[in-house]
Amino acid sequence: MTQESPQTRDTILAGQVALITGGSRGIGLAVARRLGELGARLAICGRRAETLSQASQALSGEGISVLTVVADVTRAADVASMVQKVEAELGPIDILVNNAGMGIFGPFHDRSETEWDTVLNTNLKSVFLVSRAAVPAMIRRRRGRVVNISSLAGKNTFPGGVLYCASKWGLMGLTGCMAEELRTHGIRVSVICPGSVATDFSPLAGRNPAALLQADDVAHAVVAVVTEGPHSFISEVSLRPPQKS
């Protein structure tokens, strides 16, 4: 196998447009940084303009330009406007990373309908809405990458995880169906399933952050997926730390 030169590697995504949902912090920001370092034209979205501005400033300080879009990805109208804005300012989307997510934890019988809707809409419905908006242009061009950020909780259960696990198990099914439908159009759909990541998202009280996955670990997996060769695709990646914390 011919090894890529550093110069080739640094620009391997040059000219490609990448949209990362929930891209203003944590895993999403780490993914945006890595794709930007590889030459992608970046767009990130989030609900808070202030957080997006902070992310944009951080990336700009590293020489990475990014388009920020305030959007609630659980709302179809916001999603449609966001995709239109990205396509108008950057071009057709080549890489979509569905990263937006959240969790509410605790005994299932104490959870409310509102909490159920909040978690399922954020973690599952948003992937459907954003993918539905971005994929038609990929189909027309017969190329594209969709990477959904799930979790090991999409394949394993644990006490107190009913809402989160339900959303991530659903995401695994959604991803599998999307992959089968879209592969005939030249579009590769993959899912990444990390264990606990040291961000401000997870309930990690009492655990050593150094023994957990880092956001950059997930970003590394995304890069591996979107830079592989043209004759196969990595359909699923499970990420675990070397040792249990």
Q: Are 32 and 56 in contact (CB under 8 A)?
A: no
216 is catalytic: no
Please report, for residues 24, 48, 149, the alpha-carbon distance to residue 51 in angstroms, rounded to integers and kept in the order given: 6, 5, 20
Catalytic position from the list 164, 191, 212, 213: 164
Euclidean distance between CA atoms 220 and 224, whole angstroms: 6
Q: Measure the CA angle with vertex 31, ends 96 and 183; round to 5°.
A: 30
Going by C-beta distance under 8 Å and a sequence separation of 6 or more, which residues neighbour residue 34? Answer: 216, 219, 220, 222, 223
User: How many angstroms separate the Cα of 30 from the Cα of each of 115, 169, 222?
Assistant: 28, 24, 10
List the beta bridge partners of residue 189. Answer: 146
- C-alpha span between 134 and 94 (Å, rounded): 9
Residues 55, 61: Cα–Cα separation, whole Å: 10
Q: Which residues are catalytic?
A: 164
